[in-house]
Structure 1
Amino acid sequence: MKKDALKITAIRLARLYLFFSCLAVAAQENAVPAIQMKSDIYSENKILTDIMRFEDIDYYTTKFTGAALKNKEYYIVAKEIWNGKIKKTDTVFNSSTNSYIGKIEKDSLNLRVIAGKSSDKALKIKFMFDRFEVQKEYKSTRSEDYSLRDFGSHFPIVSGKPFYAFAYILPYEDKQGNKFWCAVESSGKDIESWGKEFGIKHYILFEMRFSE
């Protein structure tokens, strides 16, 4: 009887140890400061918003926040996907190779993004930070249905890991000719497979990373 009681006590102690070990691991994971991305589309000025929508111009004011941002380098890389495959990768900018940009000095980073078609078969996008801005042009289809989406605001961002901040996409079109942008955007994290999954001919992903 005493042996059985000691055995039961040992099992209970082992379970308690595992329980508190799991709590400790969870606490450590939660202690890692996450980076949040929040975006507002268009402008508070309704007249300006109407003009941008009429001209098919996308505009976001975006803010990254989190203690993990401080003293970090960062970059933006564009990935052009045609017919379901990444055809070209282009570095928009990299703070680690540009002494003027430098590291992030605070626990927040402000960004404005404006995008639209620059010609029949070209897209133009500009990233505007507090101290600098970068503009790029990319080949496109003739479609006027491109839409810039703030994909990174849907998921937690971890320092040192790349994430897709924006996606410049064409809609999914059903057999009746109806067009859906949200169905594509909300389909999940496997963003590189959108072309194959939805039959989208072309879209551009803008990857970012905050790192030491």
Structure 2
Amino acid sequence: MKNFILLAVAFICFSTLNAQKNDIKLQTKYGSDNEELHDLLRFQDVETIKLTFIGEDLKGKNYRLLVKEYTNGSLAKTDTIMDSAKFEYIPVISDSVFEFKYYVKTQSNNTIKMNFMFDRFSTPKVYDIKASEDKYALHDFLKTTEPMSVKLNTETLIMGYFLPYIDKESGWKKYCDVSGSKHSPEDWGTAFNIPNYYLIEILFE
């Protein structure tokens, strides 16, 4: 019986240490600290966010960035923006901090331009707009001001770029009601009658 108790305690301690090891946190920061640059981005209707991942378990890991486009309630396309394991010139993460910036803009030629900017390179992507009468908005998936947990070997939603929900009673266009709702982001199209939106995921492995 004594040996069984010791084994159970050891298992609990191992589980606790393993959970702590996989403790990666995401922090986000919108806009620019430079006032003139911030105003210029707003003038050009460019939304930008800096994503900072922190955790010892990042070291030695590769990463994948995915953009998933949803149209009329269904997943229409999945694009792999970056898969660091497939490019020799992109090393594995060597530090406990990994970060990049994301820029996105709805352009006058009915396209959406996205750009993921890292220290030494960037990965632009252009999509055709499916509904041009409303403005898209960028939101992260942090529920509070506290950092968000990110698990290893699991695709994690980190951002959404989406059209608003039109409140039938007031006629107002609402964005926070979408990103802060109880509905899964994959179900936004049918839950809010949103014709087109994009979800950005990251995977560390």
Using the TM superposition, give the Cα deviation of residue 121 of structure 1 relative to its aligned residue in structure 2, in angstroms.
Answer: 2.1
Runs of 4+ in 1 over 3 A off after TM superposition: 16-26, 152-155
Q: Alpha carbons of 1:142 and 1:120: their partners in 2 closer, same or farther (altered >3 Å)? A: farther
3-state SS, counterpart of residue 103 of structure 1? coil
Please give the TM-score of this superposition, normalised by the length of structure 1: 0.83
* Rounded Cα–Cα distance in structure 2 between residues aligned with 1:23 and 1:189: 34
Query: Which is worse superposed, 17-26 or 194-203?
Result: 17-26
* Rounded Cα–Cα distance in structure 1 between residues aligned with 2:166 and 2:11: 46
Residues 58-137 of structure 1 mapped to structure 2, 5 A cutoff:
58-137=47-126
Q: Does 1:196 align with 2:190?
A: yes
3-state SS, counterpart of residue 40 of structure 1? strand
User: What is the match of residue 160 of structure 1?
Assistant: 153
Contact between 2:24 and 2:55, CA under 8 Å: does it hold in 1? yes
Instruction: Choose which of 56, 61, 80 in structure 1 pairs with 2:45.
Output: 56
Q: Does 1:151 align with 2:144?
A: no
Query: What is the number of equivalent residue pairs in this alignment?
Result: 200
Once the two structures are superposed, residues 52-101 of structure 1 have per-residue CA deviations (whole angstroms, 9 ceiling, x without a partner) of 22332101122111011111010111111001100111111111111111
Contact between 1:76 and 1:208, CA under 8 Å: does it hold in 2? yes
* Rounded Cα–Cα distance in structure 1 between residues aligned with 2:78 and 2:44: 28
User: What is the match of residue 139 of structure 1?
Assistant: 128
Q: Does 1:36 align with 2:25?
A: yes
3-state SS, counterpart of residue 181 of structure 2? coil
For the pair shown, the structure with the greater C-alpha radius of gyration is: 1
Using the TM superposition, give the Cα deviation of residue 173 of structure 1 relative to its aligned residue in structure 2, in angstroms.
Answer: 1.2
* Rounded Cα–Cα distance in structure 2 between residues aligned with 1:21 and 1:193: 42
3-state SS, counterpart of residue 107 of structure 2? strand
Amino acid in the other structure paired with 1:199: N
* Rounded Cα–Cα distance in structure 2 between residues aligned with 1:208 and 1:147: 20
Structure with higher helix content: 1
Residue identity over aligned pairs, in percent, reads: 31
Amino acid in the other structure paired with 2:155: P
Q: Alpha carbons of 1:189 and 1:92: their partners in 2 closer, same or farther (altered >3 Å)? A: farther
Q: Alpha carbons of 1:18 and 1:200: their partners in 2 closer, same or farther (altered >3 Å)? A: farther
Please give the TM-score of this superposition, normalised by the length of structure 2: 0.86
